[in-house]
Structure 1
Amino acid sequence: MATLKPMPVATKISAPFWQALKENQLKIQQCNSCDGWVFYPRNHCTHCFAHDLQWKQISGEGVLYSYTLTRIPTMPEFSDEMPQALAVVELAQGVRINTTLIDVAEQDITIGMAVKPVFDKVSIDGETLLRFTSTENVGGVRDYIDPLKDLTRNDQGQVQVPVSNLTALSALADNKFTDWSNQIVVDQALINAFAELSGDDYWLHTDPERAKKESPFKTTIAHGSLVQVLQSRLTIALPFEIIGFKTMVNYGSNRLRFPAPVPAGSTIYGRSKVQDISVSHKGVQLTLEVHIHVVGSDKPSVINDLVILYR
Protein backbone atom coordinates (compact mmCIF):
# COMPACT_ATOMS: atom_id res chain seq x y z
CA MET A 1 0.00 0.00 0.00
CA ALA A 2 1.21 3.44 -0.88
CA THR A 3 0.97 7.00 0.34
CA LEU A 4 -0.46 9.91 -1.59
CA LYS A 5 2.17 12.22 -0.16
CA PRO A 6 5.25 12.84 -2.29
CA MET A 7 8.11 10.64 -1.12
CA PRO A 8 11.85 11.25 -1.34
CA VAL A 9 13.54 9.61 -4.30
CA ALA A 10 16.71 7.77 -3.37
CA THR A 11 19.73 8.47 -5.54
CA LYS A 12 22.92 6.48 -5.89
CA ILE A 13 24.51 8.75 -3.29
CA SER A 14 21.63 8.86 -0.80
CA ALA A 15 20.37 5.27 -1.10
CA PRO A 16 22.29 4.01 2.00
CA PHE A 17 20.60 6.69 4.11
CA TRP A 18 17.08 5.65 3.06
CA GLN A 19 17.85 1.93 3.29
CA ALA A 20 19.11 2.41 6.85
CA LEU A 21 15.85 4.14 7.79
CA LYS A 22 13.90 1.12 6.51
CA GLU A 23 16.04 -0.96 8.87
CA ASN A 24 15.26 1.43 11.76
CA GLN A 25 18.74 2.91 11.81
CA LEU A 26 20.07 6.41 11.27
CA LYS A 27 23.29 6.48 9.30
CA ILE A 28 25.25 9.49 8.12
CA GLN A 29 28.65 9.84 6.51
CA GLN A 30 31.97 10.39 8.28
CA CYS A 31 35.22 11.29 6.58
CA ASN A 32 38.03 8.78 7.06
CA SER A 33 40.62 11.50 6.40
CA CYS A 34 39.59 14.18 8.92
CA ASP A 35 36.84 12.43 10.96
CA GLY A 36 34.38 15.19 10.05
CA TRP A 37 30.69 14.30 9.87
CA VAL A 38 28.77 15.05 6.68
CA PHE A 39 25.09 15.56 5.93
CA TYR A 40 23.32 15.70 3.49
CA PRO A 41 24.82 12.74 1.55
CA ARG A 42 27.69 13.71 -0.73
CA ASN A 43 30.62 12.24 -2.61
CA HIS A 44 33.16 14.42 -0.82
CA CYS A 45 33.87 15.68 2.68
CA THR A 46 32.60 19.21 3.34
CA HIS A 47 35.49 19.82 5.76
CA CYS A 48 38.60 18.66 3.89
CA PHE A 49 37.09 17.79 0.47
CA ALA A 50 38.48 14.24 0.57
CA HIS A 51 36.55 11.60 -1.35
CA ASP A 52 36.81 9.09 1.48
CA LEU A 53 33.44 8.92 3.25
CA GLN A 54 31.99 6.02 5.20
CA TRP A 55 28.41 5.45 6.36
CA LYS A 56 28.16 5.05 10.14
CA GLN A 57 25.24 4.42 12.44
CA ILE A 58 24.49 7.08 15.07
CA SER A 59 21.95 7.40 17.86
CA GLY A 60 20.20 10.38 16.28
CA GLU A 61 20.04 12.34 19.51
CA GLY A 62 20.28 16.08 19.13
CA VAL A 63 18.63 19.41 19.86
CA LEU A 64 16.00 21.49 18.12
CA TYR A 65 17.89 24.16 16.18
CA SER A 66 14.91 25.87 14.54
CA TYR A 67 11.27 25.27 13.64
CA THR A 68 8.15 26.77 12.12
CA LEU A 69 4.49 25.83 12.41
CA THR A 70 2.47 25.53 9.20
CA ARG A 71 -1.31 25.66 9.46
CA ILE A 72 -2.27 25.67 5.78
CA PRO A 73 -1.23 22.59 3.78
CA THR A 74 0.84 23.25 0.67
CA MET A 75 -0.89 20.19 -0.85
CA PRO A 76 -4.26 18.59 0.06
CA GLU A 77 -2.42 15.35 0.89
CA PHE A 78 -0.86 17.01 3.96
CA SER A 79 -4.13 18.22 5.46
CA ASP A 80 -4.14 15.40 8.01
CA GLU A 81 -0.86 16.68 9.53
CA MET A 82 -1.91 20.25 10.24
CA PRO A 83 -0.42 22.02 12.03
CA GLN A 84 2.99 20.74 10.96
CA ALA A 85 6.09 21.48 13.01
CA LEU A 86 8.75 21.74 10.32
CA ALA A 87 12.06 21.60 12.11
CA VAL A 88 15.81 21.70 11.79
CA VAL A 89 17.55 19.35 14.22
CA GLU A 90 21.21 19.62 15.09
CA LEU A 91 22.61 16.19 15.81
CA ALA A 92 25.27 15.47 18.41
CA GLN A 93 27.74 15.10 15.53
CA GLY A 94 27.18 18.75 14.60
CA VAL A 95 25.27 18.27 11.33
CA ARG A 96 21.74 19.57 10.83
CA ILE A 97 18.78 17.71 9.36
CA ASN A 98 15.52 19.12 7.99
CA THR A 99 12.70 17.09 9.49
CA THR A 100 9.29 17.14 11.16
CA LEU A 101 8.75 17.34 14.91
CA ILE A 102 5.91 15.09 16.09
CA ASP A 103 4.00 14.29 19.29
CA VAL A 104 4.97 17.55 20.99
CA ALA A 105 2.33 20.15 21.93
CA GLU A 106 2.88 23.60 20.41
CA GLN A 107 3.36 25.24 23.78
CA ASP A 108 6.05 22.71 24.68
CA ILE A 109 8.25 23.31 21.63
CA THR A 110 11.36 25.26 22.55
CA ILE A 111 14.59 25.97 20.72
CA GLY A 112 17.37 23.84 22.17
CA MET A 113 15.06 21.12 23.49
CA ALA A 114 16.55 17.61 23.43
CA VAL A 115 15.11 15.38 20.70
CA LYS A 116 15.47 11.83 19.42
CA PRO A 117 14.54 10.07 16.17
CA VAL A 118 11.32 8.33 15.21
CA PHE A 119 11.35 5.89 12.30
CA ASP A 120 7.94 6.50 10.79
CA LYS A 121 6.68 3.67 8.57
CA VAL A 122 4.46 5.24 5.94
CA SER A 123 3.60 2.24 3.76
CA ILE A 124 3.12 -1.49 4.04
CA ASP A 125 6.30 -1.88 1.96
CA GLY A 126 8.38 -0.38 4.74
CA GLU A 127 9.01 3.08 3.32
CA THR A 128 10.31 5.10 6.25
CA LEU A 129 10.56 8.79 7.02
CA LEU A 130 12.80 10.25 9.69
CA ARG A 131 10.90 12.31 12.26
CA PHE A 132 11.95 13.61 15.66
CA THR A 133 10.25 13.97 19.01
CA SER A 134 11.11 15.11 22.51
CA THR A 135 13.40 12.82 24.50
CA GLU A 136 10.60 12.67 27.07
CA ASN A 137 8.43 10.80 24.56
CA VAL A 138 8.68 7.30 23.19
CA GLY A 139 10.87 7.34 20.09
CA GLY A 140 11.93 4.33 18.07
CA VAL A 141 9.62 2.88 15.43
CA ARG A 142 6.16 4.12 14.55
CA ASP A 143 4.48 1.19 12.84
CA TYR A 144 2.42 1.55 9.69
CA ILE A 145 -1.32 1.47 10.34
CA ASP A 146 -3.38 0.10 7.47
CA PRO A 147 -6.03 2.80 6.80
CA LEU A 148 -8.31 0.20 5.19
CA LYS A 149 -8.34 -2.15 8.17
CA ASP A 150 -11.31 -0.72 10.08
CA LEU A 151 -13.47 0.35 7.12
CA THR A 152 -16.79 -1.37 6.51
CA ARG A 153 -17.40 -3.82 3.66
CA ASN A 154 -20.41 -4.18 1.41
CA ASP A 155 -22.36 -7.35 0.66
CA GLN A 156 -19.79 -8.33 -2.00
CA GLY A 157 -16.96 -8.07 0.51
CA GLN A 158 -15.51 -4.90 -1.02
CA VAL A 159 -14.00 -2.43 1.40
CA GLN A 160 -15.96 0.84 1.23
CA VAL A 161 -13.65 3.81 0.93
CA PRO A 162 -15.09 7.34 1.33
CA VAL A 163 -13.87 9.64 -1.43
CA SER A 164 -12.95 12.15 1.29
CA ASN A 165 -10.58 9.70 3.01
CA LEU A 166 -7.38 10.46 1.10
CA THR A 167 -5.23 8.26 3.30
CA ALA A 168 -7.40 5.22 2.63
CA LEU A 169 -7.62 6.04 -1.07
CA SER A 170 -3.85 6.14 -1.35
CA ALA A 171 -3.65 2.68 0.23
CA LEU A 172 -5.57 1.29 -2.75
CA ALA A 173 -2.56 1.96 -4.99
CA ASP A 174 -0.77 -1.17 -3.82
CA ASN A 175 0.51 -2.30 -7.25
CA LYS A 176 -1.43 -5.56 -7.00
CA PHE A 177 -3.58 -6.85 -9.83
CA THR A 178 -7.08 -8.17 -9.27
CA ASP A 179 -8.01 -11.72 -10.14
CA TRP A 180 -8.77 -12.45 -13.78
CA SER A 181 -12.21 -11.53 -15.09
CA ASN A 182 -14.69 -13.63 -17.02
CA GLN A 183 -13.68 -14.73 -20.52
CA ILE A 184 -14.97 -13.57 -23.93
CA VAL A 185 -14.44 -15.19 -27.33
CA VAL A 186 -13.50 -12.68 -30.03
CA ASP A 187 -14.67 -14.48 -33.17
CA GLN A 188 -14.82 -13.31 -36.78
CA ALA A 189 -18.51 -12.45 -36.52
CA LEU A 190 -17.80 -10.02 -33.67
CA ILE A 191 -14.88 -8.50 -35.59
CA ASN A 192 -17.06 -8.07 -38.69
CA ALA A 193 -19.82 -6.42 -36.66
CA PHE A 194 -17.33 -3.92 -35.23
CA ALA A 195 -15.92 -3.26 -38.71
CA GLU A 196 -19.41 -2.47 -39.98
CA LEU A 197 -20.15 -0.23 -37.03
CA SER A 198 -16.84 1.65 -37.09
CA GLY A 199 -16.26 1.72 -40.84
CA ASP A 200 -12.82 0.16 -40.39
CA ASP A 201 -13.04 -2.77 -42.81
CA TYR A 202 -9.31 -3.11 -43.46
CA TRP A 203 -8.57 -6.57 -44.85
CA LEU A 204 -6.30 -7.45 -41.92
CA HIS A 205 -9.49 -7.60 -39.81
CA THR A 206 -12.16 -8.70 -42.26
CA ASP A 207 -10.65 -10.91 -44.98
CA PRO A 208 -9.58 -14.29 -43.55
CA GLU A 209 -8.41 -15.68 -46.90
CA ARG A 210 -6.14 -12.76 -47.69
CA ALA A 211 -4.93 -12.59 -44.11
CA LYS A 212 -3.99 -16.26 -44.26
CA LYS A 213 -1.76 -15.55 -47.24
CA GLU A 214 -0.41 -12.05 -46.57
CA SER A 215 -0.71 -11.28 -42.86
CA PRO A 216 2.29 -11.92 -40.59
CA PHE A 217 -0.25 -13.38 -38.15
CA LYS A 218 -1.62 -15.84 -40.79
CA THR A 219 -5.14 -14.92 -39.71
CA THR A 220 -7.36 -11.91 -39.19
CA ILE A 221 -6.97 -9.97 -35.95
CA ALA A 222 -9.38 -7.91 -33.90
CA HIS A 223 -9.26 -4.13 -34.01
CA GLY A 224 -7.40 -2.77 -31.00
CA SER A 225 -10.33 -0.46 -30.35
CA LEU A 226 -12.69 -3.43 -30.33
CA VAL A 227 -10.67 -5.22 -27.68
CA GLN A 228 -10.58 -2.02 -25.64
CA VAL A 229 -14.36 -1.60 -25.92
CA LEU A 230 -14.87 -5.18 -24.77
CA GLN A 231 -13.43 -4.08 -21.45
CA SER A 232 -16.99 -3.11 -20.51
CA ARG A 233 -18.04 -6.74 -20.91
CA LEU A 234 -15.30 -8.01 -18.63
CA THR A 235 -16.34 -8.29 -15.02
CA ILE A 236 -13.24 -7.34 -13.08
CA ALA A 237 -13.85 -7.78 -9.37
CA LEU A 238 -12.32 -4.77 -7.64
CA PRO A 239 -11.59 -5.29 -3.94
CA PHE A 240 -12.97 -1.84 -3.07
CA GLU A 241 -15.97 0.45 -3.56
CA ILE A 242 -15.63 4.23 -3.59
CA ILE A 243 -18.50 5.90 -1.72
CA GLY A 244 -19.59 9.39 -0.70
CA PHE A 245 -19.28 11.16 -4.08
CA LYS A 246 -21.90 13.14 -6.00
CA THR A 247 -20.74 12.32 -9.52
CA MET A 248 -18.41 9.78 -11.11
CA VAL A 249 -17.30 10.10 -14.72
CA ASN A 250 -14.93 8.30 -17.06
CA TYR A 251 -12.46 11.14 -17.56
CA GLY A 252 -10.42 9.47 -20.31
CA SER A 253 -7.16 7.54 -20.57
CA ASN A 254 -3.65 8.65 -19.73
CA ARG A 255 -2.27 5.83 -21.85
CA LEU A 256 -3.75 3.42 -24.36
CA ARG A 257 -1.54 0.80 -25.99
CA PHE A 258 -2.07 -2.36 -28.07
CA PRO A 259 1.14 -4.36 -27.46
CA ALA A 260 -0.05 -7.70 -28.86
CA PRO A 261 -2.64 -8.80 -31.46
CA VAL A 262 -5.83 -10.68 -30.75
CA PRO A 263 -6.23 -13.29 -33.53
CA ALA A 264 -9.78 -14.09 -34.59
CA GLY A 265 -11.20 -16.85 -32.42
CA SER A 266 -9.11 -15.92 -29.38
CA THR A 267 -10.47 -15.90 -25.85
CA ILE A 268 -9.66 -12.80 -23.81
CA TYR A 269 -9.87 -11.83 -20.18
CA GLY A 270 -8.67 -8.91 -18.09
CA ARG A 271 -7.46 -7.67 -14.75
CA SER A 272 -6.63 -4.29 -13.24
CA LYS A 273 -4.86 -2.45 -10.47
CA VAL A 274 -5.03 1.03 -9.01
CA GLN A 275 -2.07 2.89 -10.44
CA ASP A 276 -2.50 6.32 -8.87
CA ILE A 277 -4.69 8.63 -6.84
CA SER A 278 -4.46 12.39 -7.34
CA VAL A 279 -6.36 15.40 -6.05
CA SER A 280 -7.03 18.64 -7.90
CA HIS A 281 -9.63 21.38 -8.08
CA LYS A 282 -11.59 19.06 -10.39
CA GLY A 283 -11.96 16.39 -7.72
CA VAL A 284 -10.33 13.07 -6.91
CA GLN A 285 -8.86 11.16 -9.85
CA LEU A 286 -8.37 7.42 -9.65
CA THR A 287 -6.21 5.90 -12.40
CA LEU A 288 -7.09 2.27 -13.00
CA GLU A 289 -4.54 0.35 -15.07
CA VAL A 290 -6.48 -2.24 -17.06
CA HIS A 291 -4.75 -5.10 -18.88
CA ILE A 292 -6.55 -7.32 -21.38
CA HIS A 293 -4.80 -10.53 -22.44
CA VAL A 294 -5.43 -13.40 -24.78
CA VAL A 295 -5.86 -16.34 -22.43
CA GLY A 296 -2.51 -18.08 -22.06
CA SER A 297 -0.46 -15.08 -23.21
CA ASP A 298 1.80 -13.24 -20.78
CA LYS A 299 1.87 -10.13 -22.97
CA PRO A 300 -1.20 -7.89 -22.74
CA SER A 301 -3.13 -7.04 -25.88
CA VAL A 302 -4.47 -3.82 -24.39
CA ILE A 303 -3.08 -1.56 -21.67
CA ASN A 304 -5.50 1.19 -20.70
CA ASP A 305 -4.73 3.67 -17.93
CA LEU A 306 -8.33 4.61 -17.29
CA VAL A 307 -8.95 7.81 -15.32
CA ILE A 308 -12.08 8.00 -13.21
CA LEU A 309 -13.05 11.39 -11.74
CA TYR A 310 -15.02 11.61 -8.50
CA ARG A 311 -16.64 14.81 -7.28
Structure 2
Amino acid sequence: MSMTGYATTTISEFVGRELGVSDWVVVDQARIDAFAECTGDTQWIHVNVERARRESPYGGTIAHGYLSLSLLASLSIEIGLIPADAKAGLNYGLDKVRFITPVKAGSRVRCRVVLASVAKKGNDRILVKTENELQIEGEEKPALIAQTLVMLMV
Protein backbone atom coordinates (compact mmCIF):
# COMPACT_ATOMS: atom_id res chain seq x y z
CA MET A 1 0.00 0.00 0.00
CA SER A 2 1.30 3.50 -0.68
CA MET A 3 0.16 6.80 0.75
CA THR A 4 -0.42 9.71 -1.61
CA GLY A 5 2.51 12.10 -1.49
CA TYR A 6 4.55 9.96 0.92
CA ALA A 7 8.22 10.06 -0.11
CA THR A 8 11.64 10.61 1.42
CA THR A 9 11.40 14.28 0.44
CA THR A 10 7.99 14.78 2.09
CA ILE A 11 8.14 12.31 5.00
CA SER A 12 8.41 15.05 7.65
CA GLU A 13 4.95 16.28 6.62
CA PHE A 14 3.53 12.96 7.87
CA VAL A 15 4.86 13.22 11.45
CA GLY A 16 2.03 12.73 13.94
CA ARG A 17 -0.17 11.00 11.37
CA GLU A 18 -1.36 7.44 11.21
CA LEU A 19 0.38 5.81 8.26
CA GLY A 20 -2.06 2.93 8.17
CA VAL A 21 -3.35 -0.31 9.57
CA SER A 22 -2.17 -3.64 8.20
CA ASP A 23 -4.31 -6.56 7.15
CA TRP A 24 -5.00 -9.24 9.73
CA VAL A 25 -2.50 -12.09 10.02
CA VAL A 26 -3.11 -15.41 11.78
CA VAL A 27 -0.73 -16.45 14.53
CA ASP A 28 -1.38 -20.18 14.45
CA GLN A 29 0.38 -23.03 16.23
CA ALA A 30 2.49 -23.80 13.15
CA ARG A 31 3.92 -20.26 13.20
CA ILE A 32 4.53 -20.47 16.96
CA ASP A 33 6.27 -23.85 16.56
CA ALA A 34 8.44 -22.52 13.70
CA PHE A 35 9.48 -19.53 15.82
CA ALA A 36 10.32 -21.85 18.74
CA GLU A 37 12.43 -24.00 16.42
CA CYS A 38 14.29 -20.96 15.07
CA THR A 39 15.00 -19.40 18.46
CA GLY A 40 15.29 -22.44 20.71
CA ASP A 41 12.59 -21.03 22.99
CA THR A 42 10.53 -24.17 23.48
CA GLN A 43 8.86 -23.22 26.76
CA TRP A 44 5.78 -25.43 27.20
CA ILE A 45 3.32 -22.51 27.25
CA HIS A 46 4.20 -21.93 23.58
CA VAL A 47 4.63 -25.44 22.16
CA ASN A 48 2.96 -28.06 24.36
CA VAL A 49 -0.67 -27.81 23.29
CA GLU A 50 -2.02 -30.47 25.68
CA ARG A 51 -0.19 -29.16 28.74
CA ALA A 52 -1.18 -25.58 27.90
CA ARG A 53 -4.84 -26.63 27.69
CA ARG A 54 -4.55 -28.17 31.17
CA GLU A 55 -2.25 -25.73 32.97
CA SER A 56 -2.08 -22.40 31.16
CA PRO A 57 -4.16 -19.53 32.52
CA TYR A 58 -4.95 -18.73 28.87
CA GLY A 59 -6.58 -22.09 28.08
CA GLY A 60 -4.00 -22.98 25.46
CA THR A 61 -0.69 -22.03 23.94
CA ILE A 62 0.36 -18.42 23.38
CA ALA A 63 2.78 -16.81 20.95
CA HIS A 64 6.21 -15.76 22.12
CA GLY A 65 6.38 -12.05 22.90
CA TYR A 66 9.29 -11.73 20.49
CA LEU A 67 7.30 -13.49 17.77
CA SER A 68 4.59 -10.87 18.17
CA LEU A 69 7.22 -8.12 18.16
CA SER A 70 8.89 -9.51 15.04
CA LEU A 71 5.64 -9.21 13.08
CA LEU A 72 5.88 -5.40 13.26
CA ALA A 73 8.54 -5.28 10.54
CA SER A 74 6.54 -7.04 7.81
CA LEU A 75 3.26 -5.42 8.80
CA SER A 76 4.85 -1.95 8.71
CA ILE A 77 6.28 -2.65 5.28
CA GLU A 78 2.83 -3.83 4.18
CA ILE A 79 1.27 -0.46 5.08
CA GLY A 80 4.02 1.41 3.21
CA LEU A 81 6.38 2.66 5.94
CA ILE A 82 9.35 2.55 3.57
CA PRO A 83 8.72 5.16 0.86
CA ALA A 84 8.91 3.90 -2.71
CA ASP A 85 11.81 6.26 -3.48
CA ALA A 86 13.99 4.95 -0.61
CA LYS A 87 16.78 2.55 -1.53
CA ALA A 88 16.20 0.53 1.65
CA GLY A 89 14.83 0.63 5.16
CA LEU A 90 16.95 -0.99 7.86
CA ASN A 91 15.90 -1.98 11.37
CA TYR A 92 17.69 0.48 13.65
CA GLY A 93 16.26 -0.64 16.99
CA LEU A 94 13.56 -0.04 19.55
CA ASP A 95 12.97 2.77 22.02
CA LYS A 96 10.11 1.24 24.01
CA VAL A 97 8.27 -2.06 24.04
CA ARG A 98 5.50 -3.20 26.34
CA PHE A 99 3.84 -6.61 26.09
CA ILE A 100 0.26 -6.09 27.24
CA THR A 101 -1.95 -9.02 26.22
CA PRO A 102 -0.80 -12.54 25.25
CA VAL A 103 -1.59 -13.65 21.70
CA LYS A 104 -3.38 -16.99 21.91
CA ALA A 105 -2.62 -19.56 19.22
CA GLY A 106 -5.08 -19.13 16.35
CA SER A 107 -5.62 -15.40 16.98
CA ARG A 108 -5.50 -12.76 14.27
CA VAL A 109 -3.40 -9.63 14.76
CA ARG A 110 -2.83 -6.42 12.84
CA CYS A 111 -0.61 -3.38 13.29
CA ARG A 112 -1.55 0.29 13.51
CA VAL A 113 1.41 2.56 12.69
CA VAL A 114 1.82 6.26 13.54
CA LEU A 115 4.84 8.24 12.35
CA ALA A 116 6.31 9.71 15.55
CA SER A 117 9.41 11.53 14.29
CA VAL A 118 11.86 11.95 11.45
CA ALA A 119 15.51 13.04 11.70
CA LYS A 120 17.85 13.58 8.77
CA LYS A 121 21.21 11.89 9.31
CA GLY A 122 23.38 13.31 6.56
CA ASN A 123 22.49 13.51 2.91
CA ASP A 124 21.65 9.87 2.42
CA ARG A 125 19.92 8.67 5.61
CA ILE A 126 16.70 9.45 7.48
CA LEU A 127 15.97 8.04 10.94
CA VAL A 128 12.27 7.28 11.32
CA LYS A 129 10.54 6.54 14.63
CA THR A 130 7.10 4.94 14.60
CA GLU A 131 4.58 4.11 17.28
CA ASN A 132 3.09 0.68 16.72
CA GLU A 133 0.12 -1.04 18.28
CA LEU A 134 -0.29 -4.75 17.57
CA GLN A 135 -4.01 -5.34 17.94
CA ILE A 136 -5.64 -8.71 18.59
CA GLU A 137 -8.98 -9.32 16.92
CA GLY A 138 -11.72 -9.43 19.55
CA GLU A 139 -9.50 -8.22 22.41
CA GLU A 140 -9.93 -4.85 24.11
CA LYS A 141 -6.22 -4.36 24.80
CA PRO A 142 -3.41 -4.72 22.26
CA ALA A 143 -0.83 -7.48 22.30
CA LEU A 144 1.91 -4.89 22.50
CA ILE A 145 2.91 -1.32 21.90
CA ALA A 146 6.35 -0.46 20.59
CA GLN A 147 8.37 2.47 19.33
CA THR A 148 10.49 1.24 16.45
CA LEU A 149 13.36 2.89 14.61
CA VAL A 150 14.06 2.50 10.90
CA MET A 151 16.99 4.00 9.03
CA LEU A 152 15.96 4.91 5.50
CA MET A 153 18.70 4.87 2.90
CA VAL A 154 17.97 7.62 0.36
TM-score normalised by structure 2 residue count: 0.80
Opposite residue 292 of structure 1, the aligned amino acid is L
Post-superposition shift, 1:247?
5.5
Identity of aligned residues (%): 31
Distance in 1 between the 2:32 and 2:56 partners? Answer: 16
Distance in 1 between the 2:108 and 2:98 partners? Answer: 19
Tell me if 1:189 matches 2:30: yes
Unaligned runs of 5+ in 2: none
TM-score normalised by structure 1 residue count: 0.43
Unaligned runs of 5+ in 1: 1-154
Post-superposition shift, 1:172?
0.9
Distance in 1 between the 2:71 and 2:33 partners? Answer: 14
| 2:79 partner SS | coil
Indicate conservation of the 8 Å contact 2:82/2:152, yes or no. no
Report what 1:256 is aligned to: 97
Distance in 2 between the 1:265 and 1:293 partners? Answer: 14
State the number of aligned residues.
Answer: 151
Q: 1:185-264 to 2 correspondence within 5 Å?
A: 185-234=26-75, 236-238=78-80, 241=83, 243=85, 248-264=89-105
Distance in 2 between the 1:239 and 1:207 partners? Answer: 36
Larger gyration radius, structure 1 or structure 2: 1
2:16 to 154, 170, 174: 174
Report what 1:123 is aligned to: none
Indicate conservation of the 8 Å contact 1:203/1:210, yes or no. yes
Q: RMSD of aligned C-alpha atoms?
A: 2.8
Indicate conservation of the 8 Å contact 2:15/2:117, yes or no. yes
Larger helix percent: 2
Distance 1:274 1:188, change over 3 A: same
1:307 to 137, 149, 152: 149
Indicate conservation of the 8 Å contact 1:277/1:284, yes or no. yes
